[in-house]
Structure 1
Amino acid sequence: MMKFADKKVFISGGATGIGEAAALLFAQQGAIVTIFDRDIENGERCLQRILNEGGRGIFISGNLIYPDEVEKAVEESLNAFGGIDILINNAGVESPYSVHEMPVEEWDRVMAVNLRGMYLMAKAVIPIMKKSGGGAIVNTASISGLLGWPVSAAYCVSKGGVIQLTKQMAIDYAQDNIRVNCIAPGTTLTPLIERIFQQEPEPEKAKQQISQMHPLGRFAQPEEIAQAILFLASEDASFITGAVLPVDGGYTAK
């Protein structure tokens, strides 16, 4: 049985990495998927994979730091499918700076994507969910929102904000039958992380060191994080809201 048959799922940052893996899994479970991303090439590629497997969905290009583009994308998805049952707030960026080295513009960029973008997406989608009688939101945070991580000041702060926004929204919208949860992945082998490692003087050595920091001794695959997203969005998690689920190979248990 398909757990998400005919559910309308909107995924920000759905073109690559965790978002792409989630889009494919939702589609395989019968969902109708809207992929929203500024990466047109990979967004269209992800959609084509869904369609090739017999799934349903659309790709909408846009940048979630701009309210008008968010509102336009949500409206287009609503017009196409008649509703939004599940929002996966996944888009995010990294930033390799400590506080004293970070340009103010870089701080603002990270906050605009990682935190303000989640607010804008939720602001646009929640009225639709309220009108239809409920829904589920899953935000992508990070273990960096639960603990410190070297040379990642804005990233840590933004992901900590995602966690608190999740808890606050869970309280506000419980009465509307809208559940709000977030995942906190450990290091996951997405294209973004691969690019970061390639900037190191010894990429393979850096990868080995970071992977061994996780008690399971390896990185996560995007599909493993996506499975956790699907769980929190599903009826199997019907009594879970305001939760932060680490999917981190034991990192935060140390």
Structure 2
Amino acid sequence: MSDFDGLRALVTGGASGIGRATAELLAERGARVAVLDLDPSSVEKPLTGHRADVTDDTSVREAVAAAATDLGGLDVLVNNAGIGARGTVEDNDDEEWRHVFDVNVLGMVRAARAALPHLRASAHAAIVNTCSVAATAGLPQRALYSATKGAVCSLTLAMAADHVREGIRVNCVNPGTVDTPWVARLLDAAPDPAAERAALRARQPTGRLVTAAEVAAAIAYLASPLSGATTGTALAVDGGIQGLRPRPEGR
């Protein structure tokens, strides 16, 4: 496909995992792509890397400006940078709550705020936020993470309403458990990594983890001019967690 020919895209958190898969897919489909990341050293051509800390507004504004200059403008922002958190409401202190919200929610605000002046000049402007099934399904030991992703889902709808008449579409993807380096680190830290992986697989009706490539494909759909009538939508890529209630095997 070449639906992104001539378009310029910016992916935050794009050096690894879902962000990297998305950046590479958009480039394959014709976009010129810049990546913002805390450590963009692994980013290779045709992608270009820019260092940015999404908790620092000056850092984000400077990186977005540099990327827009390199690309000659901006048509697509993929707000993907984020971190995880485990535990119930009792298990993380105020400082950790503030930190995770700073990255997962305010980080998207900062990137969007810096990108909007460039997106307004585009005929095919789109923002895609990486949300999570944790925004719509109650998952154990994910209170803080779920709260941030619930905020991202609501933020997506509000942004879509605010900018629809400017020709800027805003959507989000809600992945289930994705086989990424972050999930691998969580598994490695578990008392029984094999049992934990089996539990995560079983939680998704498909019986397996979601791949980064599958989430990237959903992001590309929402960012593409071919989905020009789609805005204010949350697209689940979750192996069926949110909507399916399959019977137990053998029944």
TM-score normalised by the shorter chain: which range applies?
over 0.9
Corresponding position of 1:35: 35
Work out whether residues 157 and 171 of structure 2, in 8 Å CA contact, stay in contact via their aligned partners in 1. Answer: yes
Are 1:62 and 2:52 an aligned pair? yes
Work out whether residues 88 and 141 of structure 2, in 8 Å CA contact, stay in contact via their aligned partners in 1. Answer: yes
Query: 1: CA distance between counterparts of 2:162 and 2:217?
Result: 26
Residues 133-157 of structure 1 deviation map (CA, whole Å, 9 limit, x = unaligned): 4500000000001122211211101
Q: How far 1:236 moved relative to its partner? A: 2.2
Aligned amino acid, residue 146 of structure 1: T
Corresponding position of 1:118: 108
Query: 2: CA distance between counterparts of 1:133 and 1:251?
Result: 36
Are 1:151 and 2:141 an aligned pair? yes
Of 2-11 and 65-74, the range deviating more from structure 2: 2-11
Query: 1: CA distance between counterparts of 2:18 and 2:169?
Result: 21
Query: 1: CA distance between counterparts of 2:199 and 2:90?
Result: 26
Query: 2: CA distance between counterparts of 1:100 and 1:209?
Result: 23
Are 1:209 and 2:199 an aligned pair? yes
Query: 1: CA distance between counterparts of 2:16 and 2:71?
Result: 23
Structure holding more helix per residue: 1
Query: 2: CA distance between counterparts of 1:184 and 1:108?
Result: 22
- Could you tell me which of 125, 143, 148 is aligned with 1:135? 125
Query: 2: CA distance between counterparts of 1:156 and 1:95?
Result: 9
- Where in structure 2 are the equivalents of 1:207-246 lying within 5 Å? 207-246=197-236
Corresponding position of 1:3: 3
Query: 2: CA distance between counterparts of 1:92 and 1:237?
Result: 25
Query: 2: CA distance between counterparts of 1:248 and 1:133?
Result: 31
Helix, strand or coil for the counterpart of 1:63?
coil
Q: How far 1:99 moved relative to its partner? A: 1.2
Q: List alignment gaps of at least 5 residues for structure 2.
A: 246-251
Query: 1: CA distance between counterparts of 2:3 and 2:168?
Result: 18
Work out whether residues 9 and 33 of structure 2, in 8 Å CA contact, stay in contact via their aligned partners in 1. Answer: yes
Corresponding position of 2:17: 17
Helix, strand or coil for the counterpart of 1:88?
strand
Q: How far 1:6 moved relative to its partner? A: 2.3
Query: 2: CA distance between counterparts of 1:141 and 1:84?
Result: 22
Query: 1: CA distance between counterparts of 2:101 and 2:70?
Result: 31
Query: 1: CA distance between counterparts of 2:124 and 2:238?
Result: 29
TM-score by length of structure 1 reads 0.93
Query: 2: CA distance between counterparts of 1:105 and 1:158?
Result: 14
Aligned amino acid, residue 86 of structure 2: P
- Could you tell me which of 182, 188, 191 is aligned with 1:198? 188
Work out whether residues 70 and 121 of structure 1, in 8 Å CA contact, stay in contact via their aligned partners in 2. Answer: yes
TM-score by length of structure 2 reads 0.94
Are 1:76 and 2:66 an aligned pair? yes
Corresponding position of 2:248: none
Q: How far 1:4 moved relative to its partner? A: 0.8
Aligned amino acid, residue 70 of structure 2: A
Are 1:89 and 2:86 an aligned pair? no
Identity among equivalent pairs (%): 36
Helix, strand or coil for the counterpart of 1:168?
helix
Corresponding position of 2:90: 100
Q: Please report the RMSD computed on the Cα atoms of aligned residues, expressed in angstroms.
A: 1.1
Residues 50-103 of structure 1 deviation map (CA, whole Å, 9 limit, x = unaligned): x2xxxx331001211100000000110121122110000001101112112211
Corresponding position of 2:41: 44
